Chains A and B, each alone.
Chain A
Amino acid sequence: MTRKPRETSVRLAVDLGGLPMANPVTTASGTFAAGREYADFVDVSSLGAVTTKGVSLNGWEGNASPRIAETPSGMLNSIGLQNPGVAHLIECDLPWLAAAGAKAIVNVSGHSFREYVEVIEALEAAGTADAYEVNISCPNVDAGGMTLGTDPASVQTVVSLCREATDRPLIVKLTPNVTDICEIARAAASAGADALSLINTLLGMAIDARSRRPVLARAVGGLSGPAVKPVALRMVWQVHQAVDLPLLGMGGICTGTDAVEFMLAGATAVAVGTANFMEPAAAVDVVDGIIDYCEQQGVADVNELIGGLRC
């Protein structure tokens, strides 16, 4: 049964760095493909946006299996940005999302500065993305990904290059695997990002004591799910104070209350990721939960919540 959020008089629309969203909820890249796989469960047009799986110029094979491990209240993944390349996204996925009436935030990946720009150029030529999320934070690839996102100078370079390639809303996705996320946030802001999204997964590991081997083929992977929520909240709160940019908060969001906590910490919008695996209509549940909270708390406009933490 396809679900959408319930009717409400609460104003839910937000503006994420120039991307108007009907409500503050999108999906976290890599957990929702390009929406089609969830179409039996979620009316994708009823979400604030769908954030698509990271896409590179040509297809990537991704990592060896096993690619996931369940950990207490979370999971590790090491998919390695497997994707069929930007042409497939342009030909198959973005038209489907457009026909379904959904907004598309396209998560862009690359092995080099040049590749990020080429992916954006291809998407610009097609003109079907509503916004870009530049992925400089994937922990599961050797080149590009997190290696870019941990060095302020590299962040500045790649974001500047992407900025030159598009006038559409440019969201930069940050890794939590740094000493000071605010330093990286400032680098992305100064290079022209319209918004920041955080957090990507936390680098982690699982070991099988009996076999004395790592559980994941690549030994390490990215931790996500409810286990990372406190870390994500802390980082959203810190970055909100450090830069004057709208934030897309994520990390273990399963309920409307979780989402509200991120908004209070400073997020303008939120992404639901691992929770999609737990409950396929989780993103709708989160919107409904935000509505419940606002109605119960007498919040007329969801924008009142942004950065509303009392401390």
Chain B
Amino acid sequence: MAPLVNEHASILQNRPVGPGLHLLQLHMPVIARQVQPGQFVHMRIPGREGHILRRPFSIYDSDPEAGTCEILYQAVGSLTSYLPSLQEGEVEAIGPVGRTWSALERFREGSATRALLVGGGVGAAPLHLLARRLSEARLPFDVVLGAQTRDALVCLPRYERLCAAAPACSTDDGSFGFAGFCTPLVEERLAKGCTADGNPYDYVAVCGPEPLMRIVCGQAEAAGAYCELSLEKRMACGVGACLSCVVETVHGKKRSCVDGPIFDSREVVWA
């Protein structure tokens, strides 16, 4: 794994892209060059000294040549609600942190032949770089995206450019695609057992709210597909030292920052 750096990243762009959703573009050439799909940066946000802890943000996209990374974030807590006001200046980012999705390795080994990527809400972001890598390697994959509303499906255009078949979408309010959660779409795909060219899914990657991930992991396991999920717990150090962000697994407690954030679904013991 590449050594961690604490990179002083300058803010190039920080703009609203959907309801409560913002796209932050940072110049951080070291991390941009090294980041693998699913990894994150642990970011110190200036100007709010009362908030002493960094926050983890997964990398949505990176451009190693330009030295830039993009982060898609949701303004939820007091710190992420303040973040949109930062239009220039620097943030400090520790990264790239964590393990990557094993999809590419599994394709190389031959244990994966067709992948299904399932993103709920901003959970679509940590999967995007994986979709790009799969697309660049011309490996077969399909995408299911769920969001509350049509406006919140902000990743869809980028995924459309990467996917051979249009991503299957759901919205809670029915404003786009299937009305409801995206789990029936996942079920349908896995139940069919095969796609147009006859390949079953043998790899599923999911990121989103925990209840969604739990259901999709169950669906994938029932269909006999290997499944990985991205779990992010409240963390302090972001480098594996403090043991704040532990996840219950069949092998005991593991750190979501450096043992994760990507976990094998069969390892996770759900609460």
Are A73's CB and B52's CB within 8 A?
yes
Which of under 10, 10 to 19, 20 to 34, or 35 or more describes the interface residues of B? 20 to 34
Q: In the complex, how many angstroms separate the beta carbon of A12 from the nearest chain B beta carbon?
A: 24
Are B52's CB and A276's CB within 8 A?
no
- Which residues of A come within 8 Å of B, CB atoms? 1, 30-33, 37-38, 40-41, 53, 61-62, 65-70, 72-75, 77, 79, 82, 225-226, 274, 276-281
11 cross-chain CB contacts under 8 A: A37-B239, A37-B241, A65-B246, A66-B233, A68-B53, A79-B242, A79-B244, A82-B243, A82-B253, A226-B52, A279-B6
Known: A62-B246, A67-B246, A77-B244. A37 touches B52 (CB 8 A): no
Known: A40-B4, A65-B233, A66-B234. A278 touches B244 (CB 8 A): no
Q: In the complex, how many angstroms separate the beta carbon of A230 from the nearest chain B beta carbon?
A: 15
**Interface residues in B234-270 (C-beta closer than 8 Å to A):** 234-246, 252-253, 258
Which chain B residues lie closer than 8 Å to A276 at the CB level? 237, 241
A-contacting 9-mer, from B43-51, B130-138, B156-164, B182-190: B43-51
Out of A31, A40, A66, A67, name the residue touching B237 (CB < 8 Å). Answer: A31
Which chain B residues lie closer than 8 Å to A69 at the CB level? 234
Are A68's CB and B4's CB within 8 A?
no
Which chain B residues lie closer than 8 Å to A79 at the CB level? 242-244
The 10 A-B pairs with the shortest beta carbon distances in the complex, nearest first, are: A33-B241, A37-B241, A68-B244, A40-B4, A277-B236, A37-B240, A40-B3, A37-B239, A277-B237, A70-B53
Are B237's CB and A37's CB within 8 A?
yes
- Which partner residue on chain B sits nearest A61 by CB separation? B253
Out of B5, B53, B233, B253, name the residue touching A40 (CB < 8 Å). Answer: B5
Known: A70-B52, A70-B53, A72-B50. A277 touches B243 (CB 8 A): no
- Which residues of B come within 8 Å of A, CB atoms? 3-6, 44, 49-54, 92, 94, 233-246, 252-253, 258
Q: How far is the CA of A225 from the CA of B51 in the complex (A)?
A: 10
Out of A38, A67, A73, A226, name the residue touching B244 (CB < 8 Å). Answer: A67
Known: A62-B243, A67-B243. A74 touches B52 (CB 8 A): yes
Which chain A residues lie closer than 8 Å to B51 at the CB level? 70
Out of B6, B237, B240, name the residue touching A281 (CB < 8 Å). Answer: B6
Which chain A residues lie closer than 8 Å to B44 at the CB level? 278-279
Identify 12 new A-B residue pairs, CB closer than 8 A, beyond the known A62-B246, A277-B242: A33-B240, A38-B239, A38-B241, A41-B4, A65-B245, A68-B53, A77-B242, A82-B243, A274-B52, A278-B53, A280-B94, A280-B239
Q: How far is the CA of A82 from the CA of B241 in the complex (A)?
A: 11
Q: How far is the CA of A274 from the CA of B52 in the complex (A)?
A: 9
Which chain A residues lie closer than 8 Å to B3 at the CB level? 40
- Which partner residue on chain B sits nearest A84 by CB separation? B252
Q: How far is the CA of A130 from the CA of B15 in the complex (A)?
A: 52
Which chain B residues lie closer than 8 Å to A65 at the CB level? 233-234, 245-246
Which chain A residues lie closer than 8 Å to B4 at the CB level? 40-41, 280
Q: In the complex, how many angstroms separate the beta carbon of B92 from the nearest chain A beta carbon?
A: 8
Which chain A residues lie closer than 8 Å to B233 at the CB level? 65-66
Which chain A residues lie closer than 8 Å to B243 at the CB level? 53, 62, 67, 79, 82
Are A278's CB and B54's CB within 8 A?
yes
Which chain B residues lie closer than 8 Å to A62 at the CB level? 243, 246, 253
Q: In the complex, how many angstroms separate the beta carbon of A96 from the nearest chain B beta carbon?
A: 14
Q: How far is the CA of A48 from the CA of B167 in the complex (A)?
A: 56
Out of B92, B234, B252, name the residue touching A68 (CB < 8 Å). Answer: B234
Give the one of B51, B53, B240 with max A CB within 10 A.
B53
Give the one of B44, B52, B94, B243 with max A CB within 10 A.
B52
Which chain B residues lie closer than 8 Å to A61 at the CB level? 252-253
- Which partner residue on chain B sits nearest A35 by CB separation? B241
- Which partner residue on chain B sits nearest A276 by CB separation? B237
Are A75's CB and B236's CB within 8 A?
yes
Give the one of A30, A72, A278 with max B CB within 10 A.
A278
Q: How far is the CA of A72 from the CA of B168 in the complex (A)?
A: 43
Which chain A residues lie closer than 8 Å to B239 at the CB level? 37-38, 40-41, 280
- Which partner residue on chain A sits nearest B239 by CB separation? A37
Out of A32, A67, A277, A281, name the residue touching B54 (CB < 8 Å). Answer: A277
- Which partner residue on chain B sits nearest A59 by CB separation? B252
Give the one of B233, B236, B246 with max A CB within 10 A.
B236
Q: How far is the CA of A69 from the CA of B235 in the complex (A)?
A: 9
Are B236's CB and A77's CB within 8 A?
yes
Out of A31, A226, A279, A281, name the residue touching B242 (CB < 8 Å). Answer: A31
Are A1's CB and B240's CB within 8 A?
no
Which chain B residues lie closer than 8 Å to A30 at the CB level? 242
Which chain A residues lie closer than 8 Å to B52 at the CB level? 70, 73-75, 225-226, 274, 277-278
Which chain A residues lie closer than 8 Å to B253 at the CB level? 61-62, 82
Which chain B residues lie closer than 8 Å to A225 at the CB level? 52
Q: How far is the CA of A65 from the CA of B253 in the complex (A)?
A: 11
- Which partner residue on chain A sits nearest B240 by CB separation? A37
Q: In the complex, how many angstroms separate the beta carbon of B246 from the nearest chain A beta carbon?
A: 6
Q: In the complex, how many angstroms separate the beta carbon of B47 from the nearest chain A beta carbon?
A: 14
Which chain B residues lie closer than 8 Å to A68 at the CB level? 53, 234-236, 242, 244
- Which partner residue on chain A sits nearest B77 by CB separation? A70
Which chain B residues lie closer than 8 Å to A278 at the CB level? 44, 52-54
